[in-house]
Amino acid sequence: MTDSPAPRHEAPVRTIAFVQYPGLTPLDIVGPLQVFSLLSHLAPGYDTAVVGERIEPMATDTPLSLVPSHTFETMPDPYALIVPGGTVPTLAAMADEKLLDKLRTAAARSEIIGSVCTGSLLLAAAGLLQGRRANSHWNYRSLLAEFGAIPVAERWVRDENVITAAGVSAGIDLALHLVGELAGPDIARRVQLFLEYDPEPPFGPIDWAAADPGQYAPQRRKNLQRALADHPALLERLID
């Protein structure tokens, strides 16, 4: 009599979950989501999800609306949790304790916590960047310090299990970097190839010397006032 073969145990699927809330910037979520969606096709064991409070169309800061695939309750413990950013709606979400609490709960069960653009301000407002090196959109990066984070001007910043990207398009770079960590550089290069991600901006690289936050401080102040008019204590803390 021979022993029966031991049952095979498949490795659990690692889900990369993106947080959706009203008013976010579509490229912040769609760019890196596309990267990880390709990863799920090229490497077994990975999946993607978009989580929100409800599964219904949500407005963005463009005419496009997006619909989450899951709620926080049906996707309670993703492998990675990534928060996209935006402008006034994202700044207003810094005072949304219901959303911040969901971020804290999901982040506590995630192996990797990330953000794109001003999404890092939501992580910071939730207390998840205390003492961490982090980045955001260049015009809002300084606000991170008000929540105990250490602002860093890099395309993406990794501090232990937290990774934060600069503004908007930097989310694609962050995602490719993470694909390289998770599945290796060969898979990451294939993803980059299939996306044909080979930027050649028609006006050349950004002149960072001309990107003076002081020049844009009045607009930043106006956006904060619009977003946080009902939260004067937080507004006073963040305003110039």
In whole angstroms, give the CA distance from residue 164 to residue 184. Answer: 20
For residue 101, being part of any structural domain is answered with yes
What single letter denotes the amino acid at residue 166?
A: A
- Alpha-helical (H) ranges within 57-152 are 88-93, 97-108, 119-125
Q: How many domains does the chain have?
A: 1
For residue 180, being part of any structural domain is answered with yes
Query: In terms of residue numbers, what domain contains 18?
Result: 14-197
pLDDT in tens, 36-94: 999 999 998 999 999 999 999 999 999 999 999 999 999 988 999 999 999 999 999 99
CATH number of the domain bearing residue 179: 3.40.50.880
Q: How far is CA 94 from the centre of its chain?
A: 14
Active site residue 169: no
For residue 233, being part of any structural domain is answered with no
For residue 235, being part of any structural domain is answered with no
Parts of the chain with a pLDDT under 70 = 1-11, 240
pLDDT of residue 10: 64
For residue 231, being part of any structural domain is answered with no
Residue of 39, 117, 122, 176 marked active site: 117
pLDDT in tens, 104-115: 999 999 999 999
In whole angstroms, give the CA distance from residue 19 to residue 82. Answer: 6
For residue 207, being part of any structural domain is answered with no
Residue of 73, 79, 29 whose CA lies nearest to 55 = 73
pLDDT of residue 1: 46
| Global model pTM greater than 0.75 | yes
Q: Distances in Å between the alpha carbon of 30 and those of 73, 133, 171, 197?
A: 22, 25, 9, 14
From edge to edge, which strands make up the β-sheet containing 112-115?
70-71, 46-52, 14-19, 80-83, 112-115, 162-165, 156-159
